[in-house]
A = this chain, B = another copy of it.
Amino acid sequence: MSENRENKTPQQAAENAPGARDHAAQAEQLDAADPLGSAVRDRFVLDDTVYLDGNSLGALPRAVPGRMAEVISREWGELRIRSWDESGWWTAPERVGDKIAPLIGASPGRVVVGDSTSINVFKAVVGGIRMAGKGCTEILVDATTFPTDGYIARSAARMTGLAVRPVEPTRIADEVTERTALALVNHVDYRTGELNDLPGITNALHSAGALAVWDLCHSAGALPVGVERYNVDLAVGCTYKYLNGGPGSPAYLYVRESLQERFDSPLPGWNSHADPFGMTSDYAAAEGIVRGRVGTPDILSLLALEAALDAWDGVAVEDVRTKSLALTDLFLDCVAAYAPPGRVRSITPYDHGRRGSQVSLECSGAAEVMAELIRRGVIGDFRQPDVLRFGFTPLYTSFADAERAARVLGEVLRALPEEDAAPGAGG
C-alpha cells in the first residue's frame, strides 16, 4: 500500500516507542503459546496489514473461494434446479443455523439463517410482543443500541400498538414493569465495546414477566453467549463480523425451544409454511425453527457463510474468549505505554466481565488519526464523533498484531499532535 507501512522488527520498534521491547517480546511469547495460533490463523487470507476491522467485516476464510466456485459452476451451472434437493439448498437455512448454534450456546433446531439482521429484529420483536401478556403496553429498547434495532423496534411497536421506551442496559432491571412485553438489548455495545450483563438482565426481565431479546452481532464468535444456559428467549445476530461470512452475509434468528410453538412471525413467507410445495392459499406455520424462514433463501451467500464457518472446526469459543481478553489486555497495555499521555482515552471497560472483543478509544481528530493509521497498514474504523474502533478476532488476530497496532498508533499520535488534529466529527 505505501512505504509508510509498519514492518519493523521488534528491535527496530524498540528504538522508537517507550517500553516497546518488552511489549514486543511479550507478544512474541503469547503468540508462541497461543492454542489458536498459526494453524487457525492460516485458515484465513491475510496480508501484511494489521486487520482490526473484523468487528465490521471479517477476513476471508481460505475455504470460501474454492467452495463458491463449486457452488456456482457445479451446483448452479450444471445441476441447476436439481440442487434445491441434491445439493441441499432447501435445508441450508437450518443446516447453517445448526453450525452457528454451538457458537452461541444453542442446541440444534434453535437457529435459522436468512435475511438481514434488521429483518430478524423485526421478526423477533413482533414475535416476542405476540407472545407477551395482553396487558403489555410497551417494549424497552437498549438506549445505546446500534441504530437499526431502535428503528425496527419502533416500527414493530407502531404496528402492534405498543410504546417504545429507550433504557440504558444497566437500568433495565430497575425500569422493567409488568406492562413491559420485552426488552431488546445489544450484547456488546457497537460503539464502546462494552459487554452487557446478559444473564443478569435476562433474569431481571423474566422476574417481571418480560421476554429478553438479544442482539448478538458484536458478541457471537468472540465470546460464549450461552443463550440456552441463561434462558434467552429470542436472539438475532449478523454473520459478517466475528463469523466471517462475507459482506452482508445472512443473519440468524434464535428462538428458545419452549417458545417456538408460540412464535407467530410477522413475515410468514412460503418458506415457513408447513407444506411449502403444497401451494395452498391458507397459511399453516411449520413446526420448529423453520417458521423463522420467510422467502427463498439466498443460496450463494448462505453457502459462502457455511464454508466460512469451517474455520471454527476444533475451535472452542471459550478459548476464543480467553485469547480475546488477552489480546485486548495487551493492546490496552501497549496503548498506555506508547501513546502520548492523555491523548487517547479508552471507553471500553478494563473489567474483563464488561469487555467485548473490541477496544474503542476516544481521540480528538479521530477521523484523521484513523485515516493515517490505515495509510500505515493498521485497519480499524472511525465512529462519529471521535471514536477509534479496533476489533480483535481471535481466530486470526495475533498478539504481534495487537502490539504493532498500538505502536503505530503511538507514532501517528506523535506525528499528529492534538492541536493539529482536525475534529473527528468532520470525518
Contacts and interface: CB of A to CB of B under 8 A. Distances in A.
A238 B78 contact: no
Nearest to A58: B80
A298 B116 contact: yes
In the complex, which range does the number of interface residues on chain A fall in?
A: 35 or more
A257 to B, nearest CB: 24
Given A249-B298, A278-B384, A81 B68 contact: no
**Which residue of A56, A76, A84, A265 has the most chain B CB atoms within 10 A of its CB atom?**
A76
Interface string A293-308: 0111111111010000
A248 interface: yes
Interface in A186-239: 191, 238
Interface in A107-127: 115-119, 122, 126
Interface in A141-173: 143, 145-148, 150-152, 154-155, 159-160, 166
A81 B280 contact: no
A240 B265 CA distance: 25
B68 A147 contact: no
Interface of A: 45, 47, 51, 53, 56-57, 59-60, 64-65, 68-69, 72-73, 75-78, 80-81, 83-84, 89, 115-119, 122, 126, 143, 145-148, 150-152, 154-155, 159-160, 166, 191, 238, 240, 246-251, 265-271, 273, 277-281, 283, 294-302, 304, 379, 381, 383-384
